[in-house]
A and B are shown apart, each in its own frame.
Chain A
Amino acid sequence: MSAAYEPVLLRRRGLERSGDIDVYERTGGYQALRKALIEMTPQSVTDLVIASNLRGRGGAGFPTGRKWSFIPKDAPVKYLAVNADESEPGTFNNRVFIDADPHALVEGILICCFAVGISAAYIYIRGENLAGARALERAIAQARAKGYVGRGILGSSFSCEIHVFRGAGAYICGEETALLESIEGRRPQPRSRPPFPAVVGLFGKPTVINNVETLGCVPSIVERGAAWFKSIGPENAPGPKMYCLSGHVARPGVYERPMGTPLRELIEEHAGGIRGGRSLGFVIPGAAASTALRPDEIDVAMDFDSLRKIGTELGAGGIMVFDDRVCIVETLERLARFFRHESCGKCVPCREGTVWQHATLVRLAERRGGAADVALLKSVSEQISGKTLCALGDFAAAPQLGALRKFPEHFQAHVEGRCPARAEAVVA
């Protein structure tokens, strides 16, 4: 059995009116902001976040405090862009977190802005999540009425505005520079880097771009310290993590556990195991862009480095579990359709490559393909990987290349006109 764990990020989930500021304040809310403004300096807040070793939860795992420290201190205007676009198949923890505790995100934003000397933050939230956008607008209005947002916050010289900016349905907007383009009213196609957003970001100004879950960790770090944060999970990537479990598990949902929780524990203990007494077919551990794992690989610790060691990724923690009746080739075909649809068209290898990947996978999934199609899928994927301006190309390539490595017998079976998962001929 797993050890007892007190949730940090989702501690207010289930509280009545958890999105209201009086409930938030009564349960310790805005105390971290108060502490930062009164007892700390911007530099000491940044130093604390560096010391905590908080790593960005969007997928890249970049150290958050270091990201903040890259922003030129003397720049008169700088911005924070909060990435709440959350559109990768398998991820939904931002949505659950914002529903449960919008003020915690607002407080994390304010502390970041204080640390970096930012006076305007934009929360970029996917257009579909209308409820989340409204919850945040309401929380910001409540926070403003109490003096936490606006001019001279809590009587200090720190001023900060927070804007909610709604997307309109495009996965690429979760890519940080496409997100900036989207806010600026341009077609959301990623920018060439350098210059990096820390130097030339939103509206041409130095910009921090942080994920919702990352900022959600910040108030607790300020409140309880770096040593406490580092005591949760592995040393090289500590802290709480909201894992999204979905697919054929008994209890799908968001489970907050220490970073590095074993995948098997998450599936079997927290999500209740495979539904209906079936057995595990495969798991996609870090949302659509990560390589699927075989049933004998689920004793891995769910953190950035442990997953990279076995050739996959944590991503934003979207764990999709499929039972033994699901065909992995068909699943890859559907994910390839997603990336084809969401490719912005700017870089040729991604724009053309995702079309070729998908067409090849359609043939294979329908058992009309030959060995040449398997080779073609590999070749096309390799020609996308590392050859595009943003990570979407890599995201499209990685799960295909990974599956060709880990599940070769499934591709071979399809070439021979068989499907191992379809022995029982159950159509999902």
Chain B
Amino acid sequence: MSGGPRSDSPLPAALLDRIDSLAAKYPTMRAALLPALWLVQDERGWISRADVAEVADRLGLAAADAEGVLSFYFLFHRAPRGTVVIDVCDNVVCRANGAERLLADLCARLGITPGETTADGRFTVRRQECIAACHQAPAVQVDLQYRGPITSVDELLGMEAR
């Protein structure tokens, strides 16, 4: 799940093979679109327009069609992102438990605003809608792993210090 710099190279053959086997698993090739996009993102960190076009072609879809599906969803990254992605829930329960303070502290520490990536490429921070962790409020996801309640930015970043 590295978010580091990527080349604009075509998708590797092994990945295309996996997309083909996904396509064979469903009654229609189109149904493999979301699983295929997840594969690409897991492999490359984000999904470029060229990647979408290649996936679409493999599944017999128009690139614009696949873009239209992809753009609906929040979790797909359309640009290079930080090595670690922190999604902070700011919905009502997390907010009542200090989510705005947490988000402000986190962004101040990293010197970015929500939606941005640190200059060193290590962290991306985003506002996220409810993540089904209201009992862990204020809750976040770090690379889609649940964390919470988060009592301090030190604690949150400390987990990722390693």
Residues of A within 8 A of B (CB): 86-92, 94-96, 126-131, 163, 165-171, 182-188, 203, 244-248, 252-254, 284, 288, 318, 320, 322, 326, 331, 334-335, 338, 341-342, 344, 428
Cβ 8 A contact of A89, one of B32, B61, B73, B130? B130
A91 touches B132 (CB 8 A): yes
Contact, CB under 8 Å: B144 / A128: yes
Residues of A within 8 A of B141 (CB): 128
Are A89 and B91 in contact, with the CB atoms below 8 A? yes
Chain A residues, CB < 8 A from B37: 168
In this assembly, does B105 line the interface, its C-beta being within 8 Å of a C-beta of chain A? no
Give chain B residues whose Cβ lies under 8 Å from the Cβ of A94. Answer: 132
**Distance from B108 Cβ to chain A, minimum over Cβ atoms (Å):** 17
Given contacts A203-B28, A320-B92, A428-B96, contact A128 B38 (CB under 8 A): no
Report the separation of the CA atoms of residues A338 and B130 in the bound assembly, to the nearest whole angstrom. 9
Category for how many chain B residues contact A: 35 or more
Q: Indicate if the CB atoms of A169 and B74 lie closer than 8 Å.
A: yes
* Neighbouring A residues of B58 by C-beta, 8 Å: none
- A188's partner among B27, B35, B72, B145 (CB-CB below 8 A) is B72
Structural contact, A89 and B31, CB atoms closer than 8 A: no
A245 to B25, CA, bound (A): 39
State which of B35, B61, B145 has its C-beta within 8 Å of the C-beta of A131. Answer: B145
A170-B72 contact in complex given A252-B137, A320-B134, A428-B96, C-beta closer than 8 Å: yes
Q: Are A252 and B129 in contact (CB under 8 A)?
A: no
Cα–Cα, bound, A366→B93 (Å): 20
Known contacts: A128-B132, A244-B134. The answer to whether A185 contacts B31 by CB under 8 A is: yes
Hey, which chain A residues are within 8 Å of B25, CB to CB? 163
A246 touches B146 (CB 8 A): no
B34 and A87 form a contact (CB under 8 A): no
The answer to whether A131 and B93 touch (CB under 8 A), given A91-B132, A95-B132, A185-B30, is: no
Q: B133: CB under 8 A from chain A?
A: yes
Known: A128-B144, A186-B69, A252-B137. A334 touches B91 (CB 8 A): yes
Do B135 and A92 have beta carbons less than 8 Å apart? yes
Instruction: Give bound CA distance, A284 to B146, whole Å.
Output: 24
Known contacts A130-B144, A247-B93, A320-B93: does B75 contact A168 (CB below 8 Å)? yes
Q: A76 → chain B, closest Cβ, in Å?
A: 13
User: Roughly how many angstroms separate A425 CA and B98 CA in the complex, as a whole number?
Assistant: 15
The answer to whether B96 touches A326 (Cβ under 8 A) is yes
- The listed residue (B92, B98, B144) touching A335 by CB distance below 8 A is B92
Of A131, A244, A246, most buried by chain B (CB within 10 Å of CB) is A246
Q: When the two chains form their complex, are residues A246 and B28 in contact, meaning their CB atoms are under 8 A apart?
A: no
- Which chain B residue lies CB-closest to A254? B135
Residues from chain B with Cβ under 8 Å of A167 in the complex: 34, 73
Closest to A281 in B: B96
The smallest C-beta distance from B61 to any residue of chain A, in angstroms, reads 8
Q: Which residues of B contact A86 (CB under 8 A)?
A: 132
Q: List 12 A-B contacts (CB under 8 A).
A: A87-B130, A90-B93, A90-B130, A92-B133, A128-B132, A167-B73, A168-B76, A185-B28, A185-B59, A186-B30, A244-B135, A334-B90
Query: Of B34, B96, B145, B146, which is within 8 A of A322 by CB?
Result: B96
Give the distance in Å from the alpha carbon of A344 to the alpha carbon of B72 in the complex: 8
A residues in contact with B73, CB < 8 Å: 127, 167-170
Given the known interface contacts A89-B134, A320-B134, A342-B129, the answer about A185 and B92 at a Cβ–Cβ threshold of 8 Å is no
A184 near B30 with CB under 8 A, answer: yes
With A131-B145, A246-B137: A168-B74 Cβ-Cβ less than 8 Å: yes
Point out the residue from A166, A244, A338 that lies within 8 Å of B35, measured CB to CB: A166
- Least CB separation from B38: chain A residue: A166
